[in-house]
Structure formats: C-alpha cells, structure tokens
Amino acid sequence: MKILIELPTWLGDCVMATPAIENIVNFDNDVQITFVGSFVTVEAMKSHSKVVKTVALDKKYSALYKTAKSLGNFDVFFSFRSSTRSKFLKFCISAKNKYQFDKNKYQHRHQVEKYNDFINDSLNINFPAGKLLLSTINFQSSTQKTVGINPGASYGSAKRWYPEEFAKVASELSDQYDIVIFGGPDEQDIALDIEKLLIKKDVKNYKNLAGKTTIPELINHISNLDLFITGDSGPMHVAAAFEVPTVAIFGPTKDNETSQWMNEKSLIVKKNLDCQPCMKRTCPLGHHDCMNLIKAVDVLDSVKSL
C-alpha cells in the first residue's frame, strides 16, 4: 500500500505523531510511506523503516500544486495538519482515500492521543497510542555523564525560562555532568548568554551546540544524554522518545496536552497560577510570572527527585 503523509510543522508535534504513524504501519505492515512537511520534520523522519521518499514543502501555493502533481498516485493520504494550505494540498493530491486532522474535533486530551484518535477514526480501528518512535544512528557516547540544557522554544518568548537561571542549574550540575547547550539557529543568542554566564562561573566542561547541528545530529545527541533540562519544546519530545530523565519547565502551555509522553523519568516544574495556561506567545499581563517565579532551586530539587 502506497501512503502519503503530511507531517505536522513543528518538531515536537511530529514526534508526538509517531505513535499514530506506527499504528498505520500496524494496520498494514506492507506499506511504502512518502513523508511531506516542513524541512525540520521530514529530516526527523527520513530514517523511518518504511519510508521511500521525503519532500520538504514550499509554502507557496503554486509550488504546493507542482509538488502534489509530481508525487504520483497513492492509496491513502493522511495530513496531520488542519490549515487551509493543507486543505489545498489534500485537494491537489491524487489518492483513493484522503484524511485530514481537524484540531477542532480532537480536543481536551494529550496531543499524542489526538493524533492517534484521528488515525483510528480514519481507518476504523481502535489501536492504543504506543511509545514515541524516532530512528537514530547511535554514535559513541562519552563515558562522563552528560546533561543537556535546552533554553529555546519556537512557539514564542512566553515559553522561555531565563538564561541566568539555566546557567545556575548548569553550573550547579557541572561537578557531576558535562554540559551540552542545545538550540536552533534562532536560539543562538540565549545559548550564548548561558555560555557567557558559565565562563564567568569558571565552568569549562561545556559545549554550545546551538545552531550547529542538523536535525538527525540533534536527535542523536539527545538520545545519548543522562539528564535533560528543557522548556516545553520539540527537543523535549525527542528526549521523551528515548526516555531520557527530564525536568521540563512549563509556563503558558497545557502540560496535560504537551508533556512528555510515556517517559517515567519525567518531572514538570510549573507554578499553577490563575493565569495559566494562557497559550499566548508573549505574556498578555506583562509580568511573565509563570516563568519569573520559577528559580534554579526548583529545577535542582526536581533533579534530586529524579
């Protein structure tokens, strides 16, 4: 069976869609999958055992039309996106059956379950959502224990904790762990702020990889960590896929919907304020207390609990 899948746009959502994708494979093991999506998500999924092709989509409608026509015919098309652009893509794709995720239909449950329910409803099956699944090429990890520090969050500044606090945590853990700072190209500034603060504290056993890794390299690095300190972000879900012990810092977002899936070694740090979760990109009240009130000691206490 030839299947075309449009992946979610963001890395974290893509990782949370993997149990649903596995249930497509469980439904018919003899599948050939073509993935289309953002550059980031097709890079994350290109090593999947059933993949025959991946295509990064251009946002322009004319380019989408050309891509759709060049892909050929499929038995089934699934889109994990509910945007107007994805509706246009679905219209242009040649497939016997076409299904598109509707974010208004699937609500009030974990994002993994939303995606899995969509696939169950499409295929008329009732498979449970299993573990997150990402392929990795495991390179030799170091003998010294390593902690990953991930200060970025693509969604907006409201999800970001502060570099001073991240640096305090990293500095405190530097006796037991080597430190790796992660981040995308847009997060190099905050990573550099942390690096400068570590230098001030005379911490030398760190690497700053922000903006310096491909997506497969990022996945490999995270899979080899012994501990991960992170905001609500794509790399947080990558860590969950490998069950890396994680302390996740949550502010304006819904931890019941986007916390780590099936990672027993996972703790959430948040303040439970009346204004949470606002789901805004920047703090609408201007005080950012959901992140402001979280201190390094709160995160370090959670590390001890893990």
- What confidence tens digit (pLDDT) does each residue in 51-87 have? 999 999 999 999 999 999 999 999 999 999 999 999 9
Cα–Cα dist 289/158, whole Å: 10
Q: How confident is the model at residue 184 (pLDDT cuts 50, 70, 90)?
A: very high
Rounded CA separation 34/24 (Å): 13
Residue 159, pLDDT score? 79
Q: What is the DSSP letter of 116?
A: H
What is the rounded CA–CA span in Å between residue 120 and residue 127? 7
Query: What would the pLDDT profile of 192-215 be if each residue is shown by its tens digit?
Result: 999 999 999 999 999 999 999 999
Give dist(CA 65, CA 92) in Å, integer.
Answer: 6
- For residues 215 and 11, is the Cβ–Cβ distance under 8 A? yes
Tokens of 51: 């993949």
**Among candidates 224, 240, 236, which has minimal Cα distance to 145?**
224
**pLDDT over 70 at 139, yes or no:** no
Query: How far is Cα 109 from Cα 281, in angstroms, rounded to an integer?
Result: 21
Structure confidence at residue 140 (pLDDT): 60
Instruction: With a cut of 80, say whether residue 115 has pLDDT above it.
Output: yes
Going by pLDDT thresholds of 50, 70 and 90, the confidence category of residue 153 is low
Amino acid identity at 223: S
**Is it the case that residue 162 has pLDDT exceeding 70?**
yes
pLDDT at res. 157: 76
On whether the CB atoms of residues 236 and 259 are closer than 8 A, the answer is: no
Q: How many CB atoms lie within 10 A of CB 189?
A: 13
Tokens, residue 16:
């949370």
**In the structure, what pLDDT confidence band is assigned to residue 239 with cuts at 50, 70 and 90?**
very high
CA–CA distances in Å: residue 197 to residues 164, 206, 291, 303: 7, 12, 19, 21
CATH topology of domain 2-123: Rossmann fold (3.40.50)
What SS3 class is residue 223? helix
- Please check whether residue 30 is in contact with residue 1, taking contact to mean a CB–CB distance below 8 angstroms: yes
Dist. CA 202–CA 165, nearest whole Å = 16
pLDDT, mean over the chain = 95
Query: Rounded to an integer, what distance in angstroms lies between the CA atom of residue 124 and that of residue 112?
Result: 18
Radius of gyration of the chain (CA): 20
pLDDT of residue 138: 67
Q: What is the Cα–Cα distance from 225 to 208, expressed in whole angstroms?
A: 15
pLDDT digits (tens, 9 = 90+) for 284-306: 999 999 999 999 999 999 999 99
pLDDT, tens digit, for every residue of 13-55?
A: 999 999 999 999 999 999 999 999 999 999 999 999 999 999 9
Q: How confident is the model at residue 142 (pLDDT cuts 50, 70, 90)?
A: low
**Cβ neighbours, 10 Å, residue 261:** 21
* pLDDT value for 200: 97
Region 163-168: mean pLDDT is: 96
Measured distance CA(114)–CA(304) in Å, rounded? 33
Among the ranges given (172-181, 275-284, 295-304), the one the predictor scored with the smallest mean pLDDT = 275-284
Contacts of 68 (CB under 8 A, 6+ apart): 89, 92, 93, 94
As assigned by CATH, the class of the 146-305 domain is alpha beta
Closest CA to 81 of 33, 9, 12: 9
Q: What percent of the chain has pLDDT over 90?
A: 93
Task: Write the DSSP string, 280-300.
Answer: -SS-TTS--HHHHT--HHHHH
CATH 3.40.50.2000 in the chain, residues? 2-123, 146-305
Average pLDDT over residues 116-123: 98
pLDDT computed for residue 143 by the predictor = 78
In the sheet where 146-150 sits, what is the strand order? 206-208, 178-181, 146-150, 227-231, 246-249, 266-269
